Structure formats: C-alpha cells, structure tokens
C-alpha cells in the first residue's frame, strides 16, 4: 500500500481519491474516484511504456471483458478499457 501510495502521489492522485484497505484491489470498499482514474490514464499515456500498458487492456469487440461489447462499432479497435468485472 505504501509503494502504491507513493506511485499515485507521483501521478498526482490524492489519498482521499483511493481509500484502499489492502493491496489486492479486490476489496469492495477499495473505491477509486473517476478523477484518479483519469489522472492515472493521462500519466501512463505520457510515459515511454504507455503504449505497451494501453495494449494490455482489452480491445472493444475483440477480447477480455469487452469481447461482446462494441462489436458493431466502427471504432471498436481503438477502445481499450476495463469494465471492472471480476470472474
């Protein structure tokens, strides 16, 4: 949690935007603000490894949790996202 907090501070995310209880990311009480997510995405996009990080996310209409979403959208391949669903 300390390491993650230090990283998120570097990103510009305030502690109140991510009340994590553990480092698993699975706690139902570990909510992240939309602003924190936007800051993280912006930060990662600006880094040399940003493209690689982006490609790890599912593609719309193609794989992962987005396989059955956006399948008819023309721009589906440019949608890289995570639904938040865990199985």
User: Three-class SS of residue 86?
Assistant: coil
User: Three-class SS of residue 25?
Assistant: coil
Question: What residues are paired with 54 via a beta bridge?
Answer: none
Q: pLDDT grade, residue 87 (50/70/90)?
A: low
Which tens digit of pLDDT belongs to each residue from 46-58? 999 988 988 888 8
Q: What is the pLDDT of residue 32?
A: 83
Which tens digit of pLDDT belongs to each residue from 5-47? 899 999 999 988 888 877 676 777 777 888 998 999 899 999 9
C-alpha closest to that of 85 among 61, 66, 71, 63: 66
User: Three-class SS of residue 85?
Assistant: coil
The tokens of 13 are what?
């995310």
Average pLDDT over residues 63-81: 84
């Amino acid at each position: 949690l300390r390491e993650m907090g230090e990283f998120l501070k570097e990103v510009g995310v305030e502690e109140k935007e991510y009340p994590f209880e553990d480092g698993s990311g699975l706690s139902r009480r570990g909510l992240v603000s939309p602003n924190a997510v936007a800051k993280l995405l912006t930060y990662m996009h600006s880094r040399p490894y940003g493209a690689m990080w982006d490609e790890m996310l599912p593609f719309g209409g193609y794989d992962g949790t987005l396989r059955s979403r956006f399948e008819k959208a023309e721009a589906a391949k440019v949608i890289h996202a995570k639904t938040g669903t865990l199985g």
